[in-house]
Every structure is written in structure tokens, then in C-alpha cells.
Amino acid sequence: MLRLRTFRPTNDKIVKIQLHPTHPWLVTADASDHVSVWNWEHRQVIYELKAGGIDERRLVGAKLEKLAEGESEPKGKPTEAMRGGSVKQVDFYDDDVRFWQLWRNRSAAAEAPSAVNHVTSAFSSPAPATKGRHFLVICCENKAIFLDLVTMRGRDVPKQELDNKSLLCMEFLSRSAGGDTPLVAFGGSDGVIRVLSMITWKLVRRYTGGHKGSISCLMTFMASSGEALLISGASDGLLILWSADHGQDSQELVPKLTIKAHDGGVVAVELSRVIGGAPQLITIGADKTLAIWDTISFKELRRIKPVPKLACHSVASWCHPRAPNLDILTCVKDSHIWAIEHPTYSALTRPLCELSSLVPPQVLAPNKKLRVYCMVAHPLQPHLVATGTNIGVIVSEFDARSLPAVAALPTPVGSREHSAVYVVERELKLLNFQLSSTANPSLGSNGSLSETGRFRGDSLEPLHVKQIKKHISTPVPHDSYSVLSISSSGKYLAIVWPDIPYFSIYKVSDWSIVDSGSARLLAWDTCRDRFALLESSLPHRIPIIPKGGSSRKAKEAAAAAAQAAAAAASAASTANVQLRILLDDGTSNVYMRSIGGRSDPVIGLLGGALLGVAYRTSRRISPVAATAISTVQSMPLSGFGSSGLSSFTTIEDGFSSHRSPAEETPQNFQLYSWETFEPVGGLLPHPEWTAWDQTVEYCAFGYQQYIVISSLRPQYRYLGDVAIPFATGAVWHRRQLFVATPTTIECVFVDAGVAPIDIATRKKKEEMKLKEAHARAVAEHGELALITVDGPQTVTNERTALRPPMLQVVRLASFLHPPSVPPFLTLPKQYKVDGDDSALQKEMEERKTNEVAVGGGGVSVAMTRFPAEQRRPVGPLIVVGVRDGVLWLIDRYMCAHALSLSHPGIRCRCLAAYGDAVSAVKWASRLAREHHDDLAQFMLGMGYATEALHLPGISKRLEFDLAMQSNDLKRALQCLLTMSNSRDIGQDTTGLNLNDILSLTTKKENILDAVQGIVKFAKEFLDLVDAADATAQADIAREALKRLALAGSMKGALQGHELRGLALRLANHGELTQLSVLVNNLISVGLGREAAFAAAVLGDNTLMEKAWQDTGMLAEAVLHAHAHGRPTLKTLVQAWNKMLQKEIEHAPSTKTDAAAAFLASLEETKLTSLAEAGKKPPIEILPPGIASLSALISVQKKPVPAILQGSQQQQPQQQQQQPGKPLLLEAPPTATATATTIAPSDSSEATAAEANNPSSSTTNPGPILPEHATKEPDIQEIPIPVPVPVPVPVDASPLTTDSLS
């Protein structure tokens, strides 16, 4: 329960400390007057300065700024050069601080029964006053420093501007009125309060005539009458009340009321919110007492001495559900945080925690004692308490997971009033709550729009809630920490007091007890009224620490607690998990004595569709954690509980983050079936909470850093995890999971998608239904049922597309103020004094009009995708769920809050997730069109592709995808035609009139545009054809193919694989005319390979041959003709050899210099006569089995058959051979005179390769074929039988061996 959140060691003692309400910032001042701003979440120092003396960095920075602005050297000394003196107070000031200060004062005043209407009404956010700045304000004796943490520019106000009196404390004054000027009040050493404007930096008001001594503390609060008041405490021991409502222009204000509070002076004052009563004031004084005052009569209610012999220096109002009876924290100069019980009890003081047990032992020197010098509780997260000590800053965390003792009851059908039951001061009470306005902004009526045409839910004003607290005349036996839970039917309420340990089950109808006993943990089944509990024997009582206490007595109590813990541990190890069921007659019956056969002690029970049991794994507890446990367990029953192993089993030492991940999450959580009591699945890491959907379709397991979401039907399937850290609880609402964390409220939209297992399960179910129907028919009609009559059968070709799971997170509420853009380096002196309010109002109005535009028919349209984050209620929350279209939450003061879900961006998603996609589409008319694509993607993820098609603002591209998903192929075709500009293609008229002839150029341009569009969406067209084929919609496929065929006829438009796919689809559809046209078009644009493929699909050998021949791919043509025994073989071979010969003859000679030419001439063979010039052999490559085209010339000299050597990777149309790679004919000499041979290989690729390298002598460089002969011809689909390679004779010439050297 109690652990160290973070620790920052310092050399000097920390004497002043303050927390920012919304950012993780902590400002401290030490005894040497060094001020430091620290981010406690990321453990980083944001800013440091020397406030007491002269900070050189700030002084240099100020001088540079003035030089940059062109100012000459100032006459006097700059304010940055003044010594600040002792730091008296540090604080933050920005729009967040201002809002939450007003909220705290107003909500405390609204608790009073006598509170006036305008206090209890919904609190509207004040207009931004600091314009995006985050001020750090340091009150020193000699000056006040205002430092903007955004621009790092500062303003120093010396005490000379405040009547030259020392500044000892400060407080910010503000009203909730719009355009308010931020004011800060300083308490002076002369007993006068001076008010400074943060706009003009001038003194605007004085509060005089009250104090005789120096003022030590200031605080604003609101009376239940709604009046803003300022209270001051001074060294003269007086508390004085002033009016803080600065609407009047009075320069001097006199006190409203003076009270003598403490002897020796007032040290601090704090406001305490009281449930169901007027707020109270808590003061501490130098006389070592703490006093509690009523704010209506201003009478003293109680006075105690928290710690004898020591004066308190800090006090904080505290309301934490883990300690319902403790409401004040205070600190003296020892090592404890002390807690004071509620005055209605004994008002005893308890040590809440021993801080020296939290810090790492190595930080504290052996002889050094830890001392606390200041303490502050977080204003919005009560589980965080920061203390300044002599060794550093300690931020402690008090069980952030504990929730208020309240449980929501199910709402009767048709009722608008909801109720929840809660425990306070040993009594059960009922909270009734509902929306007070009849025109509910979320119900879709016209009342949802305010007169300005603005969504109420889109604004930051919270919904007004009407709530009544009623007494139930049923006392509860204990007043310590309790956990409430409701059974699945809503008929029974369970209350567990884990620290006692004890439980009671109440019947909701008459609040009678139906079961009770000793138990620490209890969990309900979500499907039936049955529960599991962990039996527990009563432990030994622990001695109560006397009032005040001391460290010696605390140690004795800790030792006694350790003994009790040992006894309780032995009892806990034998405790069983027992199952009980509540029958209809209201009796409770045990139906399973013990569940699970494990011997490990149980440390957690989590209910749901399956029962989760967490076991303690054997892990050594560090001595630091052991001390912390014993300290906490030493608390008495009336304060914190006394069970040795109650809820403190999850206590960790503060440095648990240093452990290894495997050790951090042990696998110690087992799920069991409620029916069979058998384990389900393996061991899991222990979640902090679980949430199961009412329909048992989804479940969520909450861990510290993330939430795991799983689908349960048709079988367990992990969907994903969502990175929402520190979540305290969640509630399902169909496919929406509403999650509360200490700082935000999130909504997770979940859909399991469609997996193969879902389709298989659906098929199995259909088969089972058919079998059952068959069996019934046989049972009813006997053998007659087996007679079947064949009739016309309708085939439904429905494609079930797989869909991945979807998780989308939307933040609904947080503490942060909506971000505003900070002014860009605006100087403080440039502020306008006059007309500032009106300018601010104008800016607000402009922002409002920007957010909302009015659509046709007077419908208000939200321009933002999601609403601005609403304000999260303060403190730990119970999420009730969605009722009346709003999300209900209950806070620790037992107040109900409603979060609006009426912004169309959220509303549409909620409706779609709930299953009402039709209403979601209707509501989308209120959402700006540019956000419809985003919404359509969401609906597609939720499985509503058909409904998403009706969204008016979706883009054509998304419309096509949705139409394909929902099998609306006609609409998909229309989208494609629109996107590709090809709507008019294929609608040619037979005759041409004059206008047609004149518009031919325009048509040509249109066709060009259409082809470009078709090429861009070729893949989509092919997908559409396939989908149309799968669902037998031939006309749609034909339309798409018509466009593709047009694109295919253009040179280079479609890729090769697209052309092949097109040819196959045309053939499949019997579009032989289109296919032959496609072949001819492909031939005309020179795409021989694709044309041949199309012709092969068409089955036309002549056309295939023509495709190769007309595009110059003669090698492939010869191979095909030979394989198929075509009569045109000889002609083709001749044409091919002629082409090769032509390429050899036309090869240009390379340019060479004279020396190279001479050397080459020595190697070249010389022609002895002109007659020999005509005897050079022509190129001849023949397929096997064909006689030579010219007579063989036999030679007497020894001829040399040769094979070609050359590169196959030569570029097309490259006429020169590569240097250094001459094409030489080399081969071993043979005995007989044979011709040069080339053996064709087994494949067309080899043939084409050889075609690149025909035989030639050195004098005739080898030919280089064009591109189609060097690339691999793509004719794998055509079966061509190739005969065994046989040498091909080539006409030989009288070549000598010398000529081949």
C-alpha cells in the first residue's frame, strides 16, 4: 500500500515545497535559498536558480535581452542584480493552477446544505488569464521573482514597488469571471497585504488595519454563500477574514472578521472539504496546536496537539479511500508523516508512515536522523505526498489502486434516475443521480444544440448533475477500508473489510444480511449470483499506539505487528478459496469447499466469467520493505487496519523498478471455471484488475503499464495490449472499454475482427444446425424425411473477408487545461492595460466560431475530429458506465459526475461500437465532412463496411475499398470510373457528324487522361474483375476489362504482369475479339513477348508467330516454328540469319590511334587477292534436322570448328563491342573438315543466348542483337517440345589456322 514513488537526494535541507496540479513538476527551496524545479515523473531538473543572492545567469540574460531590444544601459541597477534575501514561499501559477484553485474552493463550498444555487451549479472554466505561460513565482524577502517556464524570461518586482516592506508570503486572487486580471497578494512584515497586478506589475490594492505583527500565511476560499474570501494568519496569532472579491475599485480594504487563533503566531492555514457540510479551516500555530474552524460561524470546532513537545510546520487536508477516517496530514521535525483522525471519532494522531524506512539505506548516514521540514499533498492525486527533508525530496505514494467505497446499482428499465450505494461513517447510504436538464445533449434531440449553434458537449462546461444522498437505516459493522461489489443480477451487495478481515452480503431489496463471515477477498461470477471468497481466521489484535506516540512506542508496536504478521501468515497459508451460491430464496450455500490444488498462499481473487486466483510466489522480501510493512501494520483498527496480511501483500520497496522483468511479473495467476472448478489455460502474470464484458465476448486484464484485451468467442484469442499505464479500473459497454487512470479517463474501442477460426466455427455451427434439423425431421416423419426433390438451387457466393482486430483509444478527460499558444516572446511591458478584457473576449468568440460551423438546414456541425478533453474529476474514481448517453463517474466525496459523449466524433463511434451503425451514420451528418474518412475507417474496423458507404463525406478511394469489402461491386466500379476518368470510354457512336469530327482532338485528350487513370488504378481494376468473377457479376467484369484493354493497347502503359493478367481474364470471359485486338495492339506498339502470351492464351499459333516476327523476336519465332512443325520455318530461319548478317556487316569500326592501328594490322590476316573478299562466310544458324541453305564448301586446309565467346549482357542497340572482349572463335582443331557448329540448348533461353553470338572471324566483329533477343523470352506457358541438340552446319569459308590465331 505504501511505497516510495521517487526520491531526489540534496546536500542541504529542503524548507519550502510545492507541487503543480497537472504537470509532474515540483518546486523546492533549500536552506541556502537555491530554488529548483524538478520533474518527479522523469526525474529531471527543469530549472535551477539562486534566488537568495544574485543569480549571475539571469543577470547576464537580462542584459543581453535589453541589448537585443536596442535599449541603452539602464540608469539604475537592474532588478536582477538585487539580492533576493531569504526565500519565503515558492509556487506555480498558470491557467491550470487558477482553474483547480477555483474548483477546490467552489466544490468545498457546494458541499454545504445551505450552499446557494450558483455555487452548486456546474462550474464553467474561467477564461485563460496567463495566455499560455507557466509562471514560477518565488517570494523572497526583498523581491518577488516571476519566471515564465515556457520562454525562460523573468520579471523581478522589488519590495520598493510594494511600499518597501519585506515580502513574507503570497496568494493568488482570482474570480471565475471572464477576462479576469491575475492578481497576487503579498503579506508584508508590517501586517499589511498588498495586491500586485500581473498585467501592469503595479500595486493595485492594500488590505490594512488588521494585523499588528508580520503576516505568515494567506489563503483564499469560498463561503457557502458564494462570496470569495481571503484569510490571513500572522505572528500576532490572529486569523483575519477579508473580502477577496476585487470587483470594487477600492484601494484600501478593511477586515471583515478577526479571530484569536494561536498563541505565538499562526504558522499555516488549510481548507478542508467536508462531505455533506460546510468547508472547514485547519490552522497550525507556534503553540504546537492544531485548530479546526467552521467557515459559517467561524467558531472553533476542535483543538488538539498532534505531537507533544513539537510544533507542526506543515498541514494538508487529505481524503484517501484507503484511509476513510483520516482527513488531515501534518508534519513536525521528525521522520514521520502524521495523520489525524476525523473529529467525529477520537481525533487521535497516528504516524502514517516512517519516511526513513522508505529511502534507500545507503542515503542516510549511520548517525544521521531523517527530519521533515515541509510537506505538501498533491491537490488532484491524493495518493501522492511530497516531503522536504534534510536529505532530499521524498515523493511517497499511498496505494493508488484503492477506490472509493461505492458500487453502482443497475438502473431499472425506463428509469432516468440512477443509484449507487456507498459506505460512510459505519452506515450504508444511497446516492441517487441523474442529468438535471431535460434536453439531454446526448439523446439526439434538437435540444442538443444551444442557441449559438454550438454543441454543449463540445464545450468544456461539464453537464449539470442532480444528486440526492439518502440514508438507509442499515449500519455496517466496521469503519475501516472497505471494498463494495454488486452481483451480476444486481440483487446482492458484497462488502469486504480486508483489514478486519470480514465480509457481509446484503440483499438490495430490503438491505438484509444474507451471508457474512471472515474473509479478506471476495469475487463475483459475472453470469450467476455466486461468489468466491478467501476464508481467513481472525488474527491477533495489535496494541493501539497511544495518542501522540513516540519513536520508541512505534518500534514496540512494529515488533508486536511483526508477531501478528507471522501468526497471520501461518493462517493465510492454510486458507482456502471457497465457492458459494446465492439461491432464489436468498439463502447462501457453499457448493465448493476448496478450489485449486496448489499449496501456495492466495493473495488475490478476481471475478468474472472465469475465476482468477493469484498465488504468492516464494520471493525474498527486502528488509526495507519489511520495515515499511511493519510500520503500516502497526496502525489501529479505527485508522488503517490491523491484519498482518490484509491488503499490504502488494507492498514493494520503492526501487522495485530495478528488478529484472522476469522477477517483476511472476507467472502466479490461474483462471478457473466456475462450473467444473478446473484450471483454464496456463499461469499468467497477476493483473491488478480484470473487466469482463456482460455478454462474455471480451475481457481486459489491467497491468501497471498496459491493459491486455482478449476476445473470448469462439475461443480465447489475444487481440492486443493498450499502453494505458496505472489504470485503476474499467467498465465494458458492449465494444467500448471505459478506463480510469489517476490522471485521465480513456475510452478503448475494441473489435475482434474476423479470424479463420471464426469462419470455421460458423461453418461447424451451420453443419450442426443442418444435422439437428435432419434428425428432427427423421424423428418426426420417419423415412419420408429422407426423400428429397431437386429444385432450382440459389447459390450465394458470399465472400467472408478476414479482418484484423481493432483497438482505438480516445482520451475523454484529463486534468490539463486545453493548450493555448503562448505569445511569441511578448514582453511584459507590451501588455495593453485598456481594452485587454474585450480583446480576450473577442479571441474566445473567434475560437468558438472556428470550432463549429453551421451546415445546411441549420444543423450544427462539429469541426473537430474529437472533442476537447473534458475535466477529469479529482481523486480516485469508480467508473459507473454509460447511462442516458453519458459516462458516469463517482469520486471519493461520493459525488456523481457525468462526462459528455455527445460530440459527433465520439457519439458515432460509440453507436457503431454498440452495434447501432445506422444511427452512427445519421449522427455523422453533424460531423465535418473532412473527418468522415476517419470515421469510415473506424466503422470498417468494426465490421460495418456497408453502413460506412452511406457516410456522405468519404473519399472515392475509401469508397471503393468499402464497396469491395461490402461486395457492392457496382458502386466499386462507379468509384473506379470516377477516379480513373474513364466513364465515357467504350460508348462510341457508329456514325460521325460534324460536331464529332470537330471534337476529335478533345476526345483524344480525354482518352489520354482515361488511360493514365486506368494505369494508375490497374491493380484495382483487376481486383474488381476477380471479385466480379467470384460473385458471377459478368457485366461488371466486362466493363472493367473494356477499360483495361484500352490501356493495354497503349505502348508502355501497363506493366508486363498486368498485361498477362489482362490476357488471362479476357480469355476467361470469352472476350476473344477484345483479346485479338489486344494482341494486334501489343504487336503494333512492339510488345512482342506480351503479344505472344496473349496469342497463346487465345490458342492462335499463327498470331503468336506473327507477334514474334513483327516485333523482331526472330529467335523465339524460329524456336516456336520448329517445335510445332510450322511450314514457315524455313522463311523464318532465312529472315533471322539475314538479320544477324546485317548486324555484323553494319557494325561500325572503333576509333583507334595510329600506333594501335599499326599493331592491329600486323595481327590481321591479309587478303592475297580481291577474289577472296567475296568468300567471307554468311551467318547461318539452323535448327536441327534442316539442310543448309547454301552448299557446303569443303576446304583442304585444316578447318577449326568454333563456338562463340561473348557477353550476353550487352545493352540493346549498342553497336560497338566492349573493349578488351573481342568475339573470337576458339576451339581445338578437328581431324576432318567440318563446318562451324552451334548446338542449340534444351530451352528457348539458350537459343536466344546463342543467337546473340553467331560465328564470325576476327575481321568481322560479332553482331549484337536488339533487346528482345538478349532478354529471356517469357513463353513458359507455351509447351514447346525441343529435340535433342544436333550440330547445325554453317556455310564454311576457307579460313586458315593463321587467320584464327
Question: pLDDT at position 348, please?
Answer: 82
Q: Which whole number is the average pLDDT over 245-256?
A: 71
Weakest-pLDDT range from 572-581, 1068-1077, 1207-1216: 1207-1216
Place of cell 476464508: 535
**Alpha carbon distance 583, 252 (integer Å):** 73
Higher pLDDT, 33 or 1229: 33
Q: Compute CA 208 distance to the chain's CA centroid, rounded to the nearest angstrom.
A: 54
Q: Which whole number is the average pLDDT over 1273-1288?
A: 42
- Torsions phi, psi for 114 (to 5 deg): -90, 5
Nine-digit cell at 783?
423415412
Residue 1013, strand partner residues: none
Weakest-pLDDT range from 2-11, 284-293, 435-444, 810-819: 435-444
Higher pLDDT, 909 or 1252: 909
| 3-state SS, residue 457 | coil
- Torsions phi, psi for 875 (to 5 deg): 85, -175
Contact (Cβ atoms closer than 8 angstroms) between residue 191 and residue 207: no
Question: pLDDT at position 1220, please?
Answer: 44
Residue 700 — pLDDT band, cuts 50, 70, 90?
very high
Question: pLDDT at position 238, please?
Answer: 93
- Torsions phi, psi for 1225 (to 5 deg): -95, 110
Residue 853, strand partner residues: 861
Contact (Cβ atoms closer than 8 angstroms) between residue 632 and residue 646: no
Question: pLDDT at position 1056, please?
Answer: 75
**Alpha carbon distance 246, 224 (integer Å):** 18
* pLDDT tens, position by position, 600-629: 889 999 999 999 999 987 654 444 444 444
Question: pLDDT at position 880, please?
Answer: 95
DSSP state of 920: H
In 3D space, the residue among 66, 60, 166, 48 whose CA is nearest the CA of residue 828 turns out to be: 66
* pLDDT tens, position by position, 804-849: 999 999 999 999 876 544 433 333 333 333 444 455 455 555 544 4
Amino acid at 947: E
**Alpha carbon distance 1037, 1069 (integer Å):** 9
> Does 643 have pLDDT greater than 70?
no
Higher pLDDT, 563 or 904: 904
Question: pLDDT at position 1053, please?
Answer: 78
CA diameter of the chain: 141
Among positive and negative, which fits the CA dihedral 1083, 1085, 1086, 1088? negative
For the chain, the straight-line distance linking the first and the last C-alpha, in angstroms and rounded, comes to 97
Weakest-pLDDT range from 341-345, 658-662, 1166-1170: 658-662
Amino acid at 250: S
Among positive and negative, which fits the CA dihedral 1078, 1081, 1083, 1089? negative
> Does 1247 have pLDDT greater than 80?
no
The neighbour count for residue 451, using CB atoms within 10 Å, is 5
> Does 1086 have pLDDT greater than 80?
no
> Does 1049 have pLDDT greater than 60?
yes
Nine-digit cell at 240?
483575519
Question: pLDDT at position 239, please?
Answer: 94
> Does 1136 have pLDDT greater than 70?
yes
Q: Which residues contact 105 (CB under 8 A, 6 or more apart)?
A: 220, 221, 222, 228, 271
**Alpha carbon distance 1137, 1150 (integer Å):** 24
**Alpha carbon distance 757, 73 (integer Å):** 80
Q: Which whole number is the average pLDDT over 864-882?
A: 90
Residues counted in the chain: 1301
Nine-digit cell at 1178?
554468311
Question: pLDDT at position 132, please?
Answer: 78
Q: Which whole number is the average pLDDT over 411-417?
A: 88
Question: pLDDT at position 688, please?
Answer: 93
Range list of H helices, 646-755? 661-664
Higher pLDDT, 502 or 1262: 502
Question: pLDDT at position 850, please?
Answer: 47
Question: pLDDT at position 879, please?
Answer: 95
Residue 995 — pLDDT band, cuts 50, 70, 90?
low
In 3D space, the residue among 172, 51, 181, 67 whose CA is nearest the CA of residue 127 turns out to be: 181
Q: Which whole number is the average pLDDT over 690-709?
A: 93
Question: pLDDT at position 845, please?
Answer: 54
**Alpha carbon distance 732, 734 (integer Å):** 6
> Does 540 have pLDDT greater than 80?
no
DSSP state of 930: G
Higher pLDDT, 646 or 604: 604
> Does 1251 have pLDDT greater than 50?
no
Contact (Cβ atoms closer than 8 angstroms) between residue 462 and residue 437: no
Contact (Cβ atoms closer than 8 angstroms) between residue 700 and residue 732: yes
Residue 533 — pLDDT band, cuts 50, 70, 90?
very high
Place of cell 535599449: 71
**Alpha carbon distance 969, 963 (integer Å):** 6
> Does 1283 have pLDDT greater than 90?
no
Q: What is the DSSP string of 390-429?
A: SSEEEEEEE-TT---SEEEPPPPTT---EEEEEEETTEEE
Weakest-pLDDT range from 268-277, 775-784, 908-917, 1267-1276: 1267-1276
Q: Which residues contact 475 (CB under 8 A, 6 or more apart)?
A: 426, 427, 428
| 3-state SS, residue 55 | coil
Nine-digit cell at 982?
474513364
**Alpha carbon distance 1052, 558 (integer Å):** 87
Contact (Cβ atoms closer than 8 angstroms) between residue 967 and residue 798: yes
> Does 503 have pLDDT greater than 90?
yes
Higher pLDDT, 1174 or 371: 371
> Does 855 have pLDDT greater than 70?
no
> Does 270 have pLDDT greater than 90?
yes
- Torsions phi, psi for 17 (to 5 deg): -150, 145
The neighbour count for residue 1161, using CB atoms within 10 Å, is 9
* Half-sphere exposure of residue 963: CA atoms within 13 angstroms, side-chain side: 21
Residue 640 — pLDDT band, cuts 50, 70, 90?
very low
Question: pLDDT at position 898, please?
Answer: 93
H-run or E-run covering 953:
none
**Alpha carbon distance 944, 916 (integer Å):** 10
Whole-number average pLDDT of the chain: 77
Q: Which residues contact 1190 (CB under 8 A, 6 or more apart)?
A: 1178, 1180, 1291
Question: pLDDT at position 616, please?
Answer: 87
Question: pLDDT at position 585, please?
Answer: 81
In 3D space, the residue among 323, 396, 385 whose CA is nearest the CA of residue 3 turns out to be: 396
DSSP state of 940: H
H-run or E-run covering 1196:
none
For strands 530-535 and 577-582, give the pairing: antiparallel
* pLDDT tens, position by position, 434-480: 988 644 444 433 333 333 333 443 445 668 888 888 888 888 888 88
Contact (Cβ atoms closer than 8 angstroms) between residue 453 and residue 116: no
* pLDDT tens, position by position, 214-240: 999 999 999 888 888 999 999 999 999
In 3D space, the residue among 602, 498, 58, 548 whose CA is nearest the CA of residue 305 turns out to be: 548
Q: Which whole number is the average pLDDT over 123-131?
A: 69
**Alpha carbon distance 82, 638 (integer Å):** 54
Angle, alpha carbons 651-657-660 (nearest 5°): 105
**Alpha carbon distance 534, 501 (integer Å):** 10
**Alpha carbon distance 963, 985 (integer Å):** 22
- Mean pLDDT is highest, among 123-132, 1062-1071, 1277-1286, for 1062-1071
Question: pLDDT at position 55, please?
Answer: 75
In 3D space, the residue among 811, 821, 815, 900 whose CA is nearest the CA of residue 128 turns out to be: 821
